[in-house]
Amino acid sequence: MKKIAIVYHSGYGHTARQAEAVRAGAADGAADAKLYAADALTDAHWAELAAADAIVFGAPTYMGSVSAPFKAFMDASSKVWFTQGWKNKLAAGFTNSGSQSGDKLNSLVQLAVFAAQQGMLWVSLGIMPGNNSSQGSPDDLNRVGSYLGAMAQSNVDQGADAMRESDLATARELGRRVAAAARAWDSAQLA
């Protein structure tokens, strides 16, 4: 069974719920999927990341970029970068913000560049955009119309329990896709 690690930060619970949806989708795709809080990683957790076949990165968008605790995790991973310890693993990403745009594409770009610096291979969302025609609706999968990763939009005056099911379903699809990619991927072929 392929191991998929989901490393995320969430200040107020919304991105945590999105992360759980990614985990559930990956588990549904027959992967051994586990959540890791980016701001509470122990040495044992870092060892588990080193053993993962894929790592999915997730952060809320704060001030147009990934949240500071997630960036601290990125910086801490420079120790891994020195040895290219995650090279040839699969990577993917997700983010969540208050506004429909909120400049959250920038957060996914940050995550993709981060993965590239680590020598990883990026798995895109792979769902056509929804909610972009007269027949569309906010209940569509990928209602925000992202390609690089999974996006969610959470109203700033509501808790995580009010998140849109379509955003959580989109996150589950990302998890399933990473699980399918991990099943198909033999990183030894690139080594």
Given the complex with ligand FMN, which of 14 and 89 has the nearer CB atom? 14
When the beta carbons of 90 and 168 are compared against ligand FMN, the nearer one is 168
Tell me the residue number closest to ligand FMN, measured at CB. Answer: 102
Q: Which is nearer to ligand FMN, 12 or 136 (CB)?
A: 12
The residues that bridge with 91 in the sheet, in sequence order, are 55, 122
| Positions that interact with ligand FMN (CB under 6 A) | 10-15, 60-64, 96-99, 102-103, 154, 156
**Is the separation of the CB atoms in 33 and 4 below 8 Å?**
yes
Smallest gap, in angstroms, from Cβ of residue 95 to ligand FMN?
8
> Which has the closest alpha carbon to 62: 17, 11, 111?
11
Nearer to ligand FMN, 128 or 156 (CB): 156
Ramachandran quadrant class, 12 (left: phi over 0; alpha: psi -120 to 50; beta: rest): alpha
Exposure of 119 in the CB half-sphere (CA atoms within 13 A): 15
Q: Nearest distance from residue 38's CB to ligand FMN, in Å?
A: 11
d(CA 159, CA 81): 36
Minimum separation from the CB atom of position 11 to ligand FMN (A): 3
